[in-house]
């Protein structure tokens, strides 16, 4: 299995409604993208404010194989999500690793 971690930093154009829309899209991936074993996503509520650096949304996806992880990026549902970030995304951090 493989873990895919993503944290999103949005610009000032994002609204609370857009945050919720993006969160709903992410959580819907499990039903729509093959190979996803588990998924969680949410808005950052950490009290460690000195470490936030403007990142407000986190995502963790567990894939059943490296092949599934590799198929995820170009998958049409994922690409639809990427397009929905136009105009609101400032930065993103991605980490993929084999689950041990």
Residue position matching structure tokens 């093959």: 34
The total of other beta-carbon atoms located within 10 Å of residue 34's CB is 10
Radius of gyration of the chain (CA): 14
Q: Which residue has 């829309």 as its token pair?
A: 21
Token code pair at residue 36 = 């996803």
Q: Distance between CA 71 and CA 29 in Å, rounded?
A: 13
SS3 26: helix
Kindly report, residue by residue over 17-28, the tens digit of the pLDDT: 888 889 999 999
pLDDT per residue as tens digits for the range 40-58: 999 888 888 887 788 889 9
């Amino acid at each position: 299995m493989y873990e895919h971690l993503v944290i999103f930093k949005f610009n000032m154009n994002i609204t609370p409604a857009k945050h919720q829309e993006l969160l709903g899209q992410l959580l819907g991936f499990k039903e729509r993208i093959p190979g996803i074993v588990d998924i969680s996503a949410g808005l950052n509520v950490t009290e460690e404010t000195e470490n936030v650096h403007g990142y407000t949304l986190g995502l963790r996806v567990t894939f059943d194989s490296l092949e599934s992880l590799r198929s995820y990026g170009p998958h049409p549902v994922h690409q639809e999500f990427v397009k929905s970030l136009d105009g609101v995304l400032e930065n993103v951090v991605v980490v993929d690793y084999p689950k041990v």
